[in-house]
């Protein structure tokens, strides 16, 4: 019985194209990509990227910050002990921090309530990051409606950013969102309460888990919120030494600033105070 | 005649049970179809089919086929021709179209509803059904007095007195007639002759703005319907501009060849007369319309308009027609989203001065005034630390605490134990005694309002939660603590 291999049917032309794809250096492709992006961003007249305000992270990101015309994924990671995170409060905080960095205008927040425990975002706690009066809250009861609403929002010129809260991972929808974001220079964020299969098209993917905070020495109070942040995908950025770069961040709710906790202060009870001196 | 008597006379009699509800549905459908002639359509309250009590049915009324519709076609007949020719053409069109659907009807036209009512029921010759303008006195003179829509006792008395024709009443002195029979006969006569106004209450409130488009051939393709909608919309927007208003709601009705009507409507959150924007909203909805075997007429109406509040109309943008930026763009976006998702699902958040965390945040319609800049920051600065997510309904949790008034050391939620390492609190929030309780009653005077003690806690995994104890710690008679614990939110 003769065995026919699929490659026997491949035409010479497609074979050549395959070879070409491997031959063209990654740097050149990246350059073309950058030119295309610059073109679309220029048309929308907006900044290409917005810095996070954390030097260590911005250094890794393309154009020194988070690309505006792109899709970004934020997901709640498991607890340090390996347990599934009971809630995505930390991921929500980080998403709110990102939303606050993007330009002025309406923020479209689309969510799909799931399960018995519906916990919508609480505007009063988001006000340190951005003015909740800018929020336009959309509730969708189906995933296709949610993605449709996000896409409509991305096409609307008065919108600063679009955030979607869903558990669904739809590659087609992700691709459409990414294209719409790129075309209009409006950032699209996907917030997930549980890790999901990654969108192949997202520019960055972040995983955030809450980390133990630092009490005042001698007391047992809840300190400033600390998050373990992982940059699990960085499509256009500079490669880092570590496979998945990771930082311990602290959100100071008095000075309203997010900063990396220096390695020396991890777990130290005096971290909160000394870090303020450093910062 | 009783049914038994009738059967005795004619044993082969075919009987069908009366179905007043079905009759009513049919007459409603015909009335809806009649919207094609005029928006001012009323179901005749004197119609026999709709009178629920047989005794109350007026003398001229009967059953079934005696139902009537009143159409006020003032200002509508020019669509069928100039002057009287148009009026005649409308009447003929109405009758032929209904006849084509196997609905036999008698339609009469006169200056007054009363005269038309009498002619439709009692005119002997076909030519009499059309009463020329100001000709009702002559037309009614020879008709039987039943045509005046009188109550049965009065009618009976008239017949006994030999007043058989409406014309017999013309020479009668009015005062004795009124003294003997009350005001009804004279009022009915005056209404029929046009000296007394008779308001007709339309079935649906006629919209102030309305455009119609009739087709020579029925259309059915979605593209044709969209093109027709666009033309109707352009005409309607011109009307809006002249009147200085904008639409809050638009309704499009497709009159299908089989006589049924399909309607759909769109709403906007502020007065709008921007043709491309409204068309964009319609495009969402047109897909739901079913043209059936074909559409012969389309009517676009604005049931709800508001004074135009917008600025001067912008010059059309060649690159992006129908897309505005800034606040306008946001409201347009909200309209589009609300059309598909429901307006209750597209909201903005307003702050409310309250101590209860679940009452602080209010979802408001997009058209409402947004919260002032910094209002939220002020609300947040007045209160203690708040969670980034608030559970809509607090979740009961099981708690272990070393000391009753301390924050818990362990709490169980969703079958997981969370060992608490750090805690802040308590923050005591009392119920608002000045507001009635959820069941509408006020708490009795002298009782303390229920209080909640909130704690912000962190478990050994770094997860931060917002818990509260429902009321102060107390021991019930059986030795168990009365206070219950709830989880109310998740902190960043």
Residues 336-375 in B contacting A (C-alpha not used; CB under 8 Å): 336-337, 340-341, 345-349, 351, 357, 360-361, 363, 366, 370-375
Residues A156, B391: C-beta atoms closer than 8 Å:
no
Q: Quick one: pLDDT at residue B15?
A: 85
Q: According to the model, what pLDDT value does residue A267 have? A: 58
CA dist B274 and B313 (Å) reads 8
pLDDT for residue B58: 37
Extract the runs of DSSP E, i.e. beta strands, from B44-177: 69-71
CA–CA dist A120, B388 (Å, integer): 9
Do A133 and B464 make contact, defined as CB atoms within 8 angstroms? no
- Domain shared by B63 and B143, yes or no: yes
B95 and B181, same domain (yes or no)? yes
What's the rounded mean pLDDT across residues A97-124?
87
Would the ipTM clear 0.85, i.e. be above it?
A: no
Mean pLDDT of A255-263: 84
- Indicate the pLDDT class of residue A161, thresholds 50, 70 and 90: very high
Query: How far is it, in rounded angstroms, from Cα B42 to Cα B52?
Result: 17
Same domain, B119 and B20: yes
B190 touching A (Cβ < 8 Å): no
Name the residue among B295, B112, B129 with its Cα closest to residue B193.
B112
Q: Judge contact between B79 and B86, C-beta under 8 A.
A: yes
Q: Are residues B273 and B410 in the same domain?
A: no
From chain B, the residues in CB contact with A118 under 8 A are 391-393
> Residue B414 to residues A187, B298, B469: CA-CA distances in angstroms?
35, 57, 18
Same domain flag for B32 and B146: yes
Q: In terms of residue numbers, what domain contains B288?
A: 209-312+322-339
Question: Could you tell me which of A249, A212, A214, A245 has the C-alpha nearest to residue A228?
Answer: A249
Between B290 and B367, residue with greater pLDDT: B290
CATH class of A31-278: alpha beta
Instruction: Identify whether residues B271 and B144 lie together within a single domain.
Output: no
Per-residue pLDDT of B112-148, as tens digits, reads 999 999 998 888 888 888 988 888 888 888 899 888 8
pLDDT tops 90 at residue A19: no
On the question of pLDDT at B50 being above 50, the answer is: no
- Are B176 and B29 members of one domain? yes
The mean pLDDT value of chain A amounts to 80
Give the pLDDT confidence of A43-58 residue by residue, as tens digits: 555 567 888 888 888 8
The answer, yes or no, to whether residue A269 has pLDDT greater than 50, is no
Residue B476 is assigned to a structural domain of this protein: yes
| pLDDT tens sequence across B374-410 | 788 888 887 778 899 999 888 888 888 877 777 888 9
Per-residue pLDDT reduced to its tens digit, B424-465: 878 888 888 787 776 777 766 666 667 888 999 998 888 899
* B312 phi and psi angles, rounded to 5 deg: -60, 145
B170 plus B219 within the same structural domain: no
- Cβ-in-10-Å burial (0-12, 13-18, 19+) of A86 comes to buried
Residues B266 and B356 in one domain: no
Same domain, B178 and B82: yes
Task: Point out the domain boundary residue: B193, B222, B251.
Answer: B193
Of A202, A199, A190, A194, the closest CA to residue A161 belongs to A190
Which residues 379-408 of chain B have a CB within 8 Å of chain A?
379-380, 383, 385-393, 395
pLDDT tens digits, A237-248: 777 777 788 899
| Cβ separation B464–A86 shorter than 8 A | no
Tell me which residue in A96, A221, A226 faces B462 most closely, judged by beta carbons: A226
**Whole-angstrom distance between the N-terminal and C-terminal Cα of chain B?**
83
Q: Do B110 and B259 have their domain in common?
A: no
Residue B298 is predicted with a pLDDT of: 92
- Total number of domains in chain B: 4
B280 and B326 together in one domain: yes
Shortest CA gap B479–chain A (Å): 30
Determine the average pLDDT of the residues in A10-29.
Answer: 59
User: Is pTM beyond 0.90 here?
Assistant: no
Q: Across the interface, which of A135, A141, A157 has its CB nearest the CB of B329?
A: A157
Measured CA to CA, the distance from residue A40 to residue A141 in angstroms comes to: 33
Question: With an 8 Å Cβ cutoff, is B271 touching chain A?
Answer: no
Of residues B491, B269, B288, the one with CA closest to residue A119: B491
Give the Cβ contact number of residue B415 at 10 Å. Answer: 5
Q: E-assigned strands of A140-178? A: 159-165
The 10s digit of each residue's pLDDT in A55-106 is: 888 888 888 888 888 899 999 988 877 788 888 889 999 999 999 988 788 8
A-contacting residues in B 445-464 (Cβ below 8 Å): 456-458, 460-464
Chain segment A163-190, per-residue pLDDT in tens: 999 888 788 999 999 999 988 888 999 9
Report the pLDDT value the prediction gives residue B475, as an integer from 0 to 100: 66
CATH number at residue B233: 3.30.1490.100
Contact between B397 and B467 (Cβ < 8 Å): yes
Kindly state whether residue B204 falls inside one of the protein's structural domains: no
The helices-and-strands tally (H runs, E runs) of chain B is 13, 14
CA-based torsion, A189, A192, A195, A198: positive or negative: negative
Instruction: Indicate if the pLDDT at residue B19 is higher than 90.
Output: no
Asked if B492 and A127 come within 8 Å (Cβ–Cβ), the reply is no
Percent of chain A at pLDDT > 70 equals 79
Would the pLDDT of A271 be above 80? no
């Amino acid at each position: 019985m003769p065995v026919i291999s699929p490659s026997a049917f491949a035409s010479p032309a497609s074979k050549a194209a395959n070879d070409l794809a491997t031959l063209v250096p990654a740097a050149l492709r990246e350059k073309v990509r950058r030119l295309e992006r610059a073109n679309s961003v220029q048309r929308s007249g907006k900044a290409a990227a917005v810095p996070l305000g954390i030097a260590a992270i911005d250094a890794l990101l393309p154009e020194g910050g988070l690309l505006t015309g792109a899709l970004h994924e934020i997901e709640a990671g498991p607890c340090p002990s390996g347990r599934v995170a009971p809630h995505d409060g930390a991921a929500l905080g980080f998403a709110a921090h990102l939303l606050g960095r993007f330009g002025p205008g309406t923020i479209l927040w689309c969510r799909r309530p799931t399960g018995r425990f519906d916990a919508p975002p609480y505007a009063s706690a988001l006000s340190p990051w951005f003015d909740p009066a800018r929020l336009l809250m959309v509730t969708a009861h189906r995933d296709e409606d949610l993605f449709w609403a996000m896409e409509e929002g991305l096409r609307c010129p008065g919108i600063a950013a679009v955030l979607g809260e869903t558990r669904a991972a739809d590659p087609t929808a992700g691709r459409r969102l990414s294209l719409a974001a790129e075309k209009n220079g409006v950032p699209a964020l996907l917030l997930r309460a549980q890790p999901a299969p990654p969108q192949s098209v997202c520019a960055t993917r972040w995983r955030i888990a809450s980390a133990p905070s630092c009490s005042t020495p001698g007391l047992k109070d809840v300190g400033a919120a600390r998050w373990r942040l992982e940059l699990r995908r960085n499509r256009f950025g500079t490669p880092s030494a570590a496979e998945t770069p990771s930082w311990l961040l602290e959100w100071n709710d008095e000075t309203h600033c997010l900063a990396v906790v220096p390695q020396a202060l991890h777990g130290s009870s005096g971290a909160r105070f000394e870090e303020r001196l450093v910062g | 005649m009783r049914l038994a008597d009738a059967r005795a006379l004619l044993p082969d009699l075919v009987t069908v049970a009366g179905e007043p509800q079905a009759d009513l549905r049919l007459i409603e459908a015909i009335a809806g179809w009649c919207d094609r002639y005029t928006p001012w359509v009323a179901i005749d309250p004197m119609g026999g089919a709709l009178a629920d009590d047989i005794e109350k049915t007026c003398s001229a009324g009967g059953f079934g086929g005696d139902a009537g519709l009143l159409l006020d076609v003032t200002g509508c007949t020019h669509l069928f021709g100039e002057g009287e020719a148009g009026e005649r053409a409308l009447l003929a069109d109405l009758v032929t179209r209904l006849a084509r659907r196997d609905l036999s009807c008698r339609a009469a036209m006169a200056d007054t509803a009363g005269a038309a009512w009498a002619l439709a029921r009692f005119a002997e010759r076909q030519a009499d059904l059309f009463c020329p303008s100001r000709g009702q006195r002559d037309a009614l003179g020879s008709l039987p007095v039943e045509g005046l829509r009188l109550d049965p006792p009065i009618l009976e008395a008239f017949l006994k007195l030999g007043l058989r024709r409406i014309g017999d009443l013309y020479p009668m002195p009015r005062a004795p007639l009124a003294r003997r029979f009350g005001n009804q006969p004279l009022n009915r006569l005056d209404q029929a002759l046009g000296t007394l106004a008779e308001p007709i209450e339309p079935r649906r409130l006629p919209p102030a703005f309305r455009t119609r488009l009739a087709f020579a051939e029925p259309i059915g393709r979605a593209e044709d319907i969209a093109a027709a909608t666009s033309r109707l919309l352009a005409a309607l927007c011109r009307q809006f501009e002249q009147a200085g208003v904008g639409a809050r709601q638009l309704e499009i009705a497709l009159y299908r060849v089989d006589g049924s009507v399909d309607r759909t409507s769109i709403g906007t959150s502020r007065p709008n007369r921007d043709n491309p924007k409204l068309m964009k909203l319609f495009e969402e909805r047109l897909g739901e319309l079913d043209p059936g075997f074909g559409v012969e007429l389309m009517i676009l109406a604005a049931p709800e308009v508001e004074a135009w509040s917008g600025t001067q109309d912008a010059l059309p943008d060649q690159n992006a027609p129908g897309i505005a930026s800034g606040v306008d763009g946001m409201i347009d976006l909200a309209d589009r989203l609300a059309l598909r998702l429901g307006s209750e699902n597209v909201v903005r958040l307003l702050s409310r001065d309250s101590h209860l965390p679940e009452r602080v945040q209010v979802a408001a319609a997009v058209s409402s005034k947004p919260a002032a800049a910094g209002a939220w920051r002020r609300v947040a600065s007045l209160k203690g630390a708040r969670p980034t997510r608030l559970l809509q309904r607090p979740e009961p949790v099981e708690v272990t605490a070393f000391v009753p008034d301390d924050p818990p050391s362990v709490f169980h939620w969703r079958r997981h134990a969370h060992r608490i390492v750090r805690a802040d609190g308590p923050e005591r929030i009392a119920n608002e005694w000045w507001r009635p309780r959820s069941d509408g009653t006020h708490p009795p005077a002298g009782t303390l309002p229920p209080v909640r003690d909130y704690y912000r806690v962190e478990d050994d995994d770094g997860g931060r939660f917002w818990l509260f104890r429902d009321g102060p710690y107390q021991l019930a008679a059986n030795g168990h603590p009365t206070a219950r614990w709830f989880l109310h939110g998740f902190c960043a």
